[in-house]
Copies of this chain bind each other. A is one copy, B any other.
C-alpha cells in the first residue's frame, strides 16, 4: 500500500516557522549541492497533499510551477471550491476519505508538504505512515509548532538518523502498526 510521508524541517524547539511565516532560520543550513535527501525523497512520490495557506505561500514565493509540473497529482485542501489547474485539484471534501482513497489506488508514495494544520489533522486521524524530520540547530523561541496539542498517542519506530556537517540532524521514523 502507498505510504503517506512527512518530510519537514523544524527548529530544535519544534517550530516550522517563526511568527509571520518567517522561514529565514532554514538559511542556517543552506549549502550548495546539499538537498538533505529531498530529491531522492521526491522521486519516490507522485502525489502531494498540502494546505491552502501553504499552497498560496509557495505559489507567491516560488511560483505555481513548483507544484504544477505536469508529473504529480497535487491536492490542495481548502474550504473554497475552485476549478483544477493542470494536475492540481482544490479539494473541499473529507480529508480522511481522500487519503484512504489515494492509499487504496496504485501509485508511488504520497507526500504531505504541510502546513501545520493539515499535518495535525492527518495525525489526529492516524494517517501519516512515515516521518522524515530535519532538526535545525536553533531555538527560535516562538512561531508555528509542527506538533499541536490534542493528538492521539502514536508509537514510532526509529529507522535511521543522519548528521550533516551544517549541524542539521535528520530523523527517520515510521508508524508502528
Residue positions of A touching B, CB distance < 8 A = 12-14, 25, 28, 123, 131, 133, 135, 137-142, 145-147, 149-158, 160-161, 163, 167-169, 171, 173
Contact = CB atoms under 8 A, between A and B. Distances in A.
A27 to B, nearest CB: 12
B153 A163 contact: no
Contacts of A168: 158
A135 B12 contact: no
A158 B11 CA distance: 12
B135 A139 contact: no
A151 B141 contact: yes
Contact of A156 (B12, B154, B157): B12
A146 B145 CA distance: 13
A167 B175 CA distance: 13
Contacts of A150: 141-142
A116 to B, nearest CB: 12
Given A13-B147, A147-B13, A141 B153 contact: yes
B137 A12 contact: no
